[in-house]
Amino acid sequence: MPASSFVSQRLAPFGTTIFTEMTRLATEHGAVNLAQGFPDFDGPELAKEAAIAAIRAGRNQYARMLGDPALNQAIAARWQRTTGQVIDPDAQVTVTSGCTEAIPAAMLGLINPGERVVLFEPYYDSYRACVSLAGAVPVFVTLRPRGDGSGFEFDPDELRRVMQTRPRAIVVNTPHNPTGKVYSREELSLIASLCIEHGVLAITDEVYSELVYEPDQPHISLATLPGMAERTITLNSLGKSFSLTGWKIGWAIAPAELTRCVRAAHQFLTFATCTPMQLGAAAILTEGDGYVRSLVADYRRRRDFLSAALSGLGMRVYQPAGSYFIMADHSALGFADDVAFCRHLTEHIKVAAIPPSVFYDNPEHGRRFARFAFCKKDQTLEEAVRRLGALRR
Ligand X SMILES: Cc1ncc(COP(=O)(O)O)c(C=O)c1O
What residue ranges bind ligand X (CB under 6 A)? 37, 98-100, 124, 173, 177, 205, 207, 237, 239, 245, 248, 250
Per-residue burial over 3-28, b = 16 or more CB atoms within 10 Å of its CB, e = otherwise: eeeeeeeeeeebeeebeebbbebbee
Q: Smallest distance, Å, CB 323 to ligand X?
A: 8
What minimum distance in Å lies between the beta carbon of 209 and ligand X? 11
Q: What is the DSSP string of 92-115?
A: HEEEESHHHHHHHHHHHHH--TT-
Q: How many CB atoms sit inside 10 A of residue 268's CB?
A: 11
**DSSP class of 323:** S
Opening angle at CA 232, ends 227 and 234, nearest 5: 135
**Minimum CB distance to ligand X smaller for 193 or for 217:** 217
Q: Which CB sits closer to ligand X, 75 or 391? A: 75
Contact 94, 106 (CB under 8 A): no
Q: Which is nearer to ligand X, 104 or 167 (CB)?
A: 104
Nearer Cβ to ligand X, position 205 or 338? Answer: 205
Least separation in angstroms between CB 249 and ligand X = 7
Question: Least distance from C-beta 38 to ligand X, angstroms?
Answer: 8
Closer Cβ to ligand X, 134 or 349, answer by number: 134
Which residue type does 300 have?
Answer: R
- The residue nearest ligand X at its CB is 98
**Minimum gap (Å) between residue 20 Cβ and ligand X:** 12
CB of 334 to ligand X, least distance (A): 30
Q: Give the shortest CB-35-to-ligand X separation in angstroms.
A: 11
Query: With respect to ligand X, which residue has the nearer C-beta, 97 or 385?
Result: 97
Q: Pairing between strand 250-253 and 232-237?
A: antiparallel
Complex with ligand X: residue 121 or 205, whichever CB lies closer: 205
Query: Rounded to the nearest 5°, which phi and psi values hold at 116?
Result: -95, 145
Q: Shortest CA distance to 188 belongs to which of 225, 232, 142?
A: 225
Helical packing angle, 69-83 and 275-287, nearest 10°? 30
> How, if at all, do strands 116-121 and 169-173 pair?
parallel
- The single-letter code of the amino acid at 218 is P
Region class of 286: left (phi > 0), else alpha (psi between -120 and 50), else beta: alpha
Question: What's the min distance (Å) between Cβ of 57 and ligand X?
Answer: 25
